[in-house]
Homo-oligomer: A and B are copies of this chain.
Amino acid sequence: MSGQASSDTDIREGEVAAQLPPAFDASVYFIGRIRTPFATRADCPRRGDPEGGPECRIEVDPRFADALTGLDRYDDIAVLYWMNEARRDLLLQNPKHDGRLAGTFALRSPVRPNPIALSIVRMLGIDGPVLRVRGLDCVDGTPLIDIKPEFTGGRKPCDQ
């Protein structure tokens, strides 16, 4: 168990929950694990820092190691991971505990119908099935679901 459970399963003042659909529509494989220095949610930074954050490791299941071929040509990669301890039914959330509500899709909160997180991280190196990266902000042991070269939306990454 990570530290996600206690903060992401309670409901706060003013928050509104949906009736979730009666069945799931598709399924995912966990294709690896993310290793960070953050043992609990409370230890995680609010946002990953690809410049100054700590080095982290993405341990890809060895069965998928060949799928990393050519990824070393990219400076930045998009990492999708599964925030597997959050509740999934909130529509309106009170993220700052101050009574101000925001819609789930206007937040990057782990609490969402499909708890998939997206981080853009800086690639430091690849050693077999393990990527060394900078810029992650998730709990150690978080399940990995995808890696993509980063050039979202048809635009080049910012030059900063």
Number of interface residues of A (CB under 8 A): 70
Taking a contact as CB atoms under 8 Å apart, the answer to whether B108 and A148 are in contact is yes
Q: Nearest 8 A-B pairs (CB), nearest first? A: A120-B153, A69-B103, A24-B27, A70-B106, A67-B104, A66-B91, A105-B147, A25-B30
Taking a contact as CB atoms under 8 Å apart, the answer to whether B103 and A66 are in contact is yes
Within the complex, what minimum Cβ distance (angstroms) separates A53 from chain B?
Answer: 9
Taken together as a complex, chains A and B put the C-alpha atoms of A145 and B71 apart, in Å, by: 26
Taking a contact as CB atoms under 8 Å apart, the answer to whether A27 and B29 are in contact is no
Q: Which of A48, A114, A116 has the most CB of B within 10 A?
A: A114
Which B residues touch A106, using CB under 8 A?
67-71, 73-74, 149
Taken together as a complex, chains A and B put the C-alpha atoms of A146 and B24 apart, in Å, by: 14
Q: A47's closest neighbor in chain B, by CB? A: B154
Taking a contact as CB atoms under 8 Å apart, the answer to whether A76 and B116 are in contact is no
Taken together as a complex, chains A and B put the C-alpha atoms of A122 and B135 apart, in Å, by: 25
Which B residues touch A73, using CB under 8 A?
106
Q: A74's closest neighbor in chain B, by CB? A: B106
Which B residues touch A21, using CB under 8 A?
29, 61, 63
Given A29-B20, A106-B149, CB of A92 within 8 Å of CB of B63:
no
Q: Which single member of B104, B148, B153 contacts A50 (CB below 8 Å)?
A: B153
